[in-house]
Amino acid sequence: MTLGEALAAARGRIDRLDARLLLQTVSGCTHADLLARPETPLLGPAAEQFLAWVDRRAGGEPLAYLVGEAEFRGRVFQVSPDVLIPRPETEILIDLAVDRSKTLKNPRLLDLGTGSGIVAISLALECPAAELVAVDLSPAAISVARNNAGRLGARVGFVESDWFSALAGQKFDLIVSNPPYVADGDPHLALNGLPFEPQMALTDGEPGGNGLACIRRIVGEAPAYLNAGGWLLFEHGYDQGEASRNLLRATGFQSAFTHPDLAGIDRVSGGQL
């Protein structure tokens, strides 16, 4: 099989760009190689891997899980089915956290539910004066995040914890989180590759709930772990802005707000203790 024949075999089954990226990954060739030398042989094992990936991609498995990495904020992060694939909307959370961190001297920051580590690692690299602690309930996710931190040269302390449970006595100046917020049974969980992603990172699993169970717990417990004047910022669903602000106010947070993403959809809420 040649490079050109491999692309032809994927035609009509998966997106053309996806096919090209999978072929580049499995063969080590560049886009220019594909255009200039499509007659280049694709050796047996590589051809078998490519065709297997095409089958899996055609079945809905996300491209990032096949190639084992995804780009976020200009950096390449390793990902696996143990962690969510980075979404560009999460950059809003990081932008807001960076803005607040820059007003603080040597702040301590906490990332709850770190997953692949994109939030904690981005903050550590963009706020070098800050001390970062990141927690996740999943040991597998912690392993992925720790590897990403090492590869990207970010100083982050990782803790296996059910939200705040392993952080007794610790205080922070800023707490950020991208928690599970999709309501249990939401039909979106069956679309766009989501069945392949860790469900515990997508939904709180509360039968008949509204997706706010984890947010409710984070907001309720955060004051005990924040220094005076500290901020809590968290990502949420498109229809959870008002409920999030109400939870913040009811818990004693001031200046509760909701910030939209680039599409104008409510995406991040927060408040100051």
How much is the pLDDT for 93?
98
Spatial distance between the Cα atoms of 174 and 57, rounded to a whole number of angstroms: 39
How much is the pLDDT for 192?
87
Q: Apex CA 268: angle with CA 262 and CA 270, to 5°?
A: 145
The dihedral sign for the CA sequence 262, 263, 264, 265: negative
How much is the pLDDT for 208?
87
Spatial distance between the Cα atoms of 237 and 215, rounded to a whole number of angstroms: 11
Instruction: Measure the N-to-C terminal CA separation of the chain; round to a whole number of Å.
Output: 63
Model confidence pLDDT, tens digit, residues 68-86: 999 999 999 999 999 999 9
Model confidence pLDDT, tens digit, residues 229-253: 999 999 999 999 999 999 999 999 9
Model confidence pLDDT, tens digit, residues 165-200: 999 999 999 999 999 999 998 998 998 899 999 999
Q: At what angle do helices 118-126 and 139-152 cross, to 10 degrees?
A: 30
Model confidence pLDDT, tens digit, residues 100-143: 998 899 999 999 999 999 999 999 999 999 999 999 999 999 99
Spatial distance between the Cα atoms of 265 and 215, rounded to a whole number of angstroms: 18
Q: What is the CATH code for 83-272? A: 3.40.50.150
In the 3-class helix/strand/coil scheme, how is 30-94 assigned residue by residue? CHHHHHHCCCCECCHHHHHHHHHHHHHHHCCCCHHHHHCEEEECCEEEECCCCCCCCCHHHHHHH
How much is the pLDDT for 249?
98
How much is the pLDDT for 250?
98
List the structure tokens of 51.
């065709």
Please state the pTM of the whole predicted model. Answer: 0.93
Using alpha carbons, list the distances in angstroms from residue 89 to 11, 164, 237, 259. 31, 25, 11, 11
How much is the pLDDT for 188?
87
- Could you tell me which residues are beta bridge partners of residue 182? 203
How much is the pLDDT for 45?
92
80 close to 105: Cβ distance less than 8 angstroms: no
Residue 18 has pLDDT above 90, yes or no: yes
How high is the mean pLDDT of the chain? 96
Model confidence pLDDT, tens digit, residues 82-103: 999 999 999 999 999 999 998 8
How much is the pLDDT for 224?
98
